[in-house]
Amino acid sequence: MIPAIELNDGYTIPQLGFGVFQIPAPETSRAVLRALEVGYRHFDTAEMYGNEREVGEAIRASDVSRDDVYVTSKLNNGFHRPDDARRAFEKTLTDLGFDYVDLFLIHWPLPGLYGGDFVSTWRTLEEFKRDGRARSIGVSNFQVAHLDRLAADAETVPSVNQIEAHPYFVNDEVRAYGRAHGIVTEAWSPIAQGGVLGDATVRAVADRMGRTPAQVVLRWHIQRGDVVFPKTVSPSRMHENFELFDFELDGESMDALSGLDRGEPGRTGPHPDDFNYVPD
Ligand code: NDP
């Protein structure tokens, strides 16, 4: 049974899901259908992943009801201006083939674009929440300064902030801000795209627990209270990554994994303060 976390707007989100970043569109439907068979009921996609259509197709083709699946998508970086964001959100719903998403996020703050204005973009997401087409709204890759700016200038507190986090980059300052302000943290690249799995400490914890490296790292996230959605195209890894709820890490193992933090050098993705990428 996957635990559900309550968001600040009263909706709940399954703590474990399935990410589809870098799954090529032609493979996505098959991967999502397999994940549904394994038991995943939460899918994380984005307009920029180019596979929203296939995520929607798989869910609609499955025998699982839409209402039993939690679906997140994210705004394309090129569409932050309010009218563009409205058009992009309609396209997301059309491509998914749904009349609502459970969660819609600003994918990146892009502080060097749009005159640094992500607040008007956020107000546009508030419209989607008001009209019910996005049950919850949130942000991704927001640093503390970006969250402070929203707190000063907007009405709604984001329900989630989806940020890079794993044992080599624990990202605790942003997580602590979220905890203090009722924003749930979602950890992207939770196993650092596989980069932490060969670590001697991770392997020692895994050996001690009789689990795999991926399982102990994902369990560490779960016990920290974050939402995770590891990506895999391998059916056996889908099962492996799903089996996290019949064991518990003790304090010593939790501390050992947290102690792997390398700070900023542990970050694998772009720094949100400097990232101003718009797809062609
Ligand atoms: P993950 O940390 O989930 O790692 C995925 C990689 O690890 C793949 O190469 C996969 O290979 C491999 N893998 C998965 N499970 C195992 C396992 N049990 N043992 C060994 N290797 C494994 O990386 P992602 O970057 O995909 O992050 C997860 C999700 O987070 C994304 O899919 C996306 O939804 C979201 N995300 C959001 C971002 C944002 O800016 N908001 C940025 C990046 C990600 P294989 O498929 O071959 O099994």
- Per residue in 185-225, pLDDT tens? 999 999 999 999 999 999 999 999 999 999 999 999 999 99
Is any ligand 1 atom within 6 A of the Cβ of residue 277? no
Is any ligand 1 atom within 6 A of the Cβ of residue 21? yes
Is any ligand 1 atom within 6 A of the Cβ of residue 11? no
Q: Is 154 helix (H, G, I), strand (E, B) or coil?
A: coil
CATH number where 120 lies: 3.20.20.100
Residue 79 binned pLDDT confidence (cut-offs 50, 70, 90): very high
Ligand 1 atom closest to residue 187's alpha carbon, by position in its atom list: 30
Ligand 1 atom closest to residue 231's alpha carbon, by position in its atom list: 3
Is any ligand 1 atom within 6 A of the Cβ of residue 213? no
Q: How many CB atoms lie within 10 A of CB 107?
A: 21
pLDDT at 92: 98
On whether the pTM is more than 0.75, the answer is yes
Is any ligand 1 atom within 6 A of the Cβ of residue 169? no
Q: Is 66 exposed, middle or buried (0-12, 13-18, 19+ CB in 10 A)?
A: middle
pLDDT at 175: 99
State which residues form the domain around 33: 4-191+225-231
Q: How many CB atoms lie within 10 A of CB 220?
A: 27
Ligand 1 atom closest to residue 233's alpha carbon, by position in its atom list: 46
pLDDT tens across 230-242, in order? 999 999 999 999 9
Average of pLDDT values for 152-172? 98
- Residue 248: inside a domain, yes or no? no
Residues involved in catalysis: 49
Residue 115 binned pLDDT confidence (cut-offs 50, 70, 90): very high
- Residue 106: inside a domain, yes or no? yes
What gap in Å lies between CA 80 and CA 89, rounded to an integer?
11
Substitution site in 188, 215, 236 for ligand 1 pocket (most atoms within 8 Å of beta carbon): 188
Q: Is 237 helix (H, G, I), strand (E, B) or coil?
A: helix
Backbone phi, then psi, for 41, in 5-degree steps? Answer: -130, 25
- Residue 237: inside a domain, yes or no? no
Average of pLDDT values for 249-260? 98
- Residue 212: inside a domain, yes or no? no
What gap in Å lies between CA 253 and CA 262, rounded to an integer?
17
Mean pLDDT over the full length of the chain? 98
State the distance from the centre of ligand 1 to the C-alpha of 83, rounded, in angstroms.
32
The two counts, helices (H) then strands (E), for the chain are: 10, 10
Q: Total structural domains in the chain?
A: 1
- Residue 251: inside a domain, yes or no? no
- Residue 91: inside a domain, yes or no? yes
What gap in Å lies between CA 154 and CA 158, rounded to an integer?
10
- Residue 52: inside a domain, yes or no? yes
Quick one: what percent of the chain has pLDDT higher than 70? 100
- Residue 256: inside a domain, yes or no? no
pLDDT tens across 18-74, in order? 999 999 999 999 999 999 999 999 999 999 999 999 999 999 999 999 999 999 999
Backbone phi, then psi, for 187, in 5-degree steps? Answer: -95, 110
